[in-house]
Structure 1
Amino acid sequence: MGVKPQRLRIGDTVGIIAPASPPNQENLQRSFAFLEELGLKVRLGKHVYDQYGYLAGKDKDRLADLHTMFMDSEVKAVICAGGGYGTGRIASQIDYQMIKNHPKIFWGYSDITFLHTAIRQQTGLITFHGPMLASDIGKADADPLSKEYFKQLFELTSIQYPNEVSELEVLIDGKASGEITGGNLSLLASTIGTAFEIDTKGKLLLIEDINEEPRSIDRMLNQLHMAGKLTDAAGLIIGDFNNCVPERELSLELDEVISHYTHLANKPALKGFKFGHCSPHISIPLGVQAEMDTSEKQLIIDSGVR
């Protein structure tokens, strides 16, 4: 069983870090009002506004902000400002024993997938795959439903995927249960062969991505397939693949690629979840038990907090 972090209470302080690319500063500022509406206080990492090429500061500084927030006893949750590139660069330098000793809510997605995987597999800590402050919540047109799912951090309630939000499609029939793992496909593929290689054995594997042509999705799914990650999984949860369209005349369609690999895996598979680079973006805990039933087109996920 994973380690559930302590739930939030009104008046708690949350720490904001930028472990990937520089966040949009205007959106980030706007997101603070949302956190304050939830009754939370905001504490910014020292290097949140740093820029170093496509990175939000040098590796040692982004790492320092992550460590500082986990060590700060007043900070009850660590929320990522945005994604982009670069979290994999700091993964091997993280003090995982310190995180294990100071478990708390950790929230983000996209490039943060590398940290979700590394932190959970090294410490057992349940983390949260959800929309980020600058890239989602702070946008002027942020979806109210995306914001609504932050409330799971305050409550001990399971999540049932709201089927009215999107039409789910059955790719492979069946029931499956296990811990949820996964996230952004590009980042999952980049863990293969490292000390943080994604473990999918007996788990429900979530995949999503953005701005990748079907040929790139094919390459990454083939890598996961050849590494045994698809057949090891108990079931497949296909999230949003935003703008993953061909840029050349000769191409397979995305649906054809996904169908090919789900049938090779031959595990229960549902497609169409609003998990990922989409609006609304339904946030869920990773590392908790979940049950999927394709006949009911249903996904039920345990609470991620205690």
Structure 2
Amino acid sequence: MIRYPLMSEGAVIGTTAPSSGVEESMHNLIREASKRLESAGFQVVAGDSVWTQEKAKSAPAKVRAAEFNRMLRDDAIDLIVPPWGGELLIEILEFLDFEQLPEKWILGYSDISLLLLAIMLKTGLATAHGTNLVDLRGEYFDETSAMWRTVMSTKTGSSVLQHSSAKFQKDWKHDAPSPCVYHLTEPTEWKTVSGGKVSLKGRLLGGCIDVIRHVIGTPFGDVRSFQQEQIGGEPILWYLENCELNMADQRRSLMQMKLAGWFDHCSGLMFGRSPANRPVEGYTAEDMYRELAEELQVPVVYDIDCGHVPPQITLINGTYAEVEVESGQGSITQYFRP
């Protein structure tokens, strides 16, 4: 059984840094995001870890975990949105309180996706893969990013439809900030290995390959038990994105997932756009996608709105999704089924 939190009007957002915090020179990003969210009717409560960063983490693992656990248990906080990702979230997993986890949304991506996946697999609590706090500081949201509020306000038993973006951001231009944060200049095109129309259905699960691969074989990465016990053996529709891996490393990582059984009874794979898909001796991302489609005998879709090349659709781990891709455009309907 999947449990879905519900975000209400005037929700209190707790922001804590279970991975990386924010250096002093960039504290203004948190203040701007908080101000913008408060002007939209939210309240924002920031933990101590948000304001510190040293040696690739916001604070020691036990300190980060304790603050996260406190926000989870605090009835005054309705959802948790970390400032951004980072490098070493994996250090806190063993210190988290997974027992009787309250129904509270956690939203983020990158290193945060490891936290989202671990919570989903261990507890059946739905988690939200999407924008982070600092990217919510714009004067307005593009249509794709703006859907986070609608998606996280969807009631159990209902559904929500999202479409592929019109344009995506090729490069960050920090010296020329945009009113909507992102500089959306390049035409979006969702692609398929088959080259034709593709339909996919299954329970959504996924995250950033760089980090979720590291819980294979641990208590935090038991996909088989999740599939059998939480979703009644339904097929999994994987969404995956790459932050820093070249194509050889990405291929090795996906092979490890395959050999560990993560792709058993899988209905398809969807990959986000990535600037890190560097070929190795002519071995390209497209080569890898074709190999996966052939090996797993499932559809493979790529360059979707997910991950480190914004904007991104809000994907809920645990929902039953129906995805349609045709002529470069895509749609995804998520059903909030228990």
TM-score, structure 1 as length reference: 0.88
Identity over aligned pairs, percent: 23
CA distance 1:82–1:96, change in 2 (3 Å): same
SS of equivalent to 2:117: helix
Shift of 1:231: 4.1
Shift of 1:225: 2.1
2:193 is aligned to 171
TM-score, structure 2 as length reference: 0.80
Shift of 1:114: 1.3
1:150 is aligned to 148
Q: Deviations over 1:77-105 (max 9, x none)?
A: 01111101121111122111142xx2111
1:254 is aligned, of 271, 275, 285, to 285
Contact 1:179 1:204 in 2 (8 A): yes
Shift of 1:259: 2.1
Paired with 1:198 and 1:84, the residues of 2 have a C-alpha distance of 23
Contact 1:76 1:105 in 2 (8 A): yes
* CA RMSD, Structure 1 to Structure 2 (Å): 2.5
1:188 is aligned to 212
Structure 1 segment 118-129 matched on structure 2, within 5 A: 118-129=118-129
Q: Deviations over 1:255-301 (max 9, x none)?
A: 21222223211112222211100122222211111013456864433
Structure 1 segment 222-301 matched on structure 2, within 5 A: 222-246=255-279, 250-294=281-325, 298-301=330-333
Q: Deviations over 1:153-193 (max 9, x none)?
A: 23445123336452222225754322100110112211111
Contact 1:21 1:84 in 2 (8 A): yes
1:62 is aligned to 64
Contact 2:79 2:105 in 1 (8 A): yes
Contact 2:57 2:88 in 1 (8 A): yes
Structure 1 segment 101-116 matched on structure 2, within 5 A: 102-116=102-116
1:36 is aligned, of 35, 38, 59, to 38
Q: Deviations over 1:34-88 (max 9, x none)?
A: 3113210001113222323100111111111111111111111011111011211
Paired with 1:305 and 1:142, the residues of 2 have a C-alpha distance of 31
The answer to whether residue 334 in structure 2 is matched with residue 302 in structure 1 is: yes
CA distance 1:145–1:256, change in 2 (3 Å): same
Shift of 1:32: 1.0
Contact 1:4 1:126 in 2 (8 A): yes
1:133 is aligned to 133
Contact 1:6 1:305 in 2 (8 A): no
Question: Which stretch shifts more, 294-303 or 154-163?
Answer: 294-303
CA distance 1:40–1:87, change in 2 (3 Å): same
1:209 is aligned, of 225, 242, 263, to 242
Contact 2:36 2:139 in 1 (8 A): no
Shift of 1:244: 2.1
Paired with 1:264 and 1:233, the residues of 2 have a C-alpha distance of 12
CA distance 1:237–1:280, change in 2 (3 Å): same
CA distance 1:303–1:43, change in 2 (3 Å): farther
Contact 1:143 1:280 in 2 (8 A): no
Shift of 1:18: 0.6
Structure 2 runs not aligned, ≥5 long: 168-187, 228-234
